[in-house]
Amino acid sequence: MLRSRVQLLIQQNVDGSDFFNRSWEEFRIGFGSPSGNYWLGLDRLSQLTMSGRYKVTFDLQSNDTGTWYYAEYSTFRVLSEADNYRLAVAGYSGNAGDAFTRHSGSSFSTYCTTATTTSCHQTAAQRQGAADSGSGPATRSK
């Protein structure tokens, strides 16, 4: 059986900004543009990964040398919002080091679950946004 290989951009941070300092709702629906800083959205990511078997590849470029590295995981799944978008990831290979497997079983988190209160916005500035603030290199799923 021949399987097609489709690449889908999940997250990209092209300028190292705090563009990813966002609320739960924004991470849920997605934001940005695939040509710049971008987040696909947890709802779409969950719907996609719950419908089949997927792997994820992180392509990382060193700011110092420009060298590219990768980390690939043969199992990648994001559960639904009812499960707080809990992550399931396993099967590392690559040359970037395994920095993701330890997060398997973790739920997604950001500074608050709603962006409607002043305290959420104040907390965001103090904590610098989501658990993965997006300050690292670009990532994409394959």
In this structure, what CATH number is given to the domain that contains residue 31?
Answer: 3.90.215.10
Total structural domains in the chain? 1
Residue 140 phi/psi, 5-degree rounding, is -150, 155
pLDDT of residue 113: 59
Per-residue tens of pLDDT for the chain, all 142 residues:
455 577 889 998 888 787 788 888 999 999 999 999 999 999 999 999 999 899 999 999 898 999 999 999 999 999 999 999 999 999 999 999 999 999 999 999 887 654 344 445 444 444 444 444 333 333 333 3
Distance CA(37)–CA(30), nearest Å, equals: 11
Does residue 38 lie within any of the structural domains?
yes
For 100-105, the CB contacts below 8 A with 24+ separation are: 100/58, 100/71, 100/73, 101/73
In a domain, 111, yes or no: yes
Supply the pLDDT for residue 117: 43
Residue 47 is assigned to a structural domain of this protein: yes
In a domain, 3, yes or no: no
| The dihedral formed by the CA atoms of 22, 23, 29 and 33, expressed in degrees to the nearest 10 | -10
Q: Quick one: pLDDT at residue 120?
A: 55
In terms of residue numbers, what domain contains 85? 8-141
How is residue 108 written in tokens? 């997604």
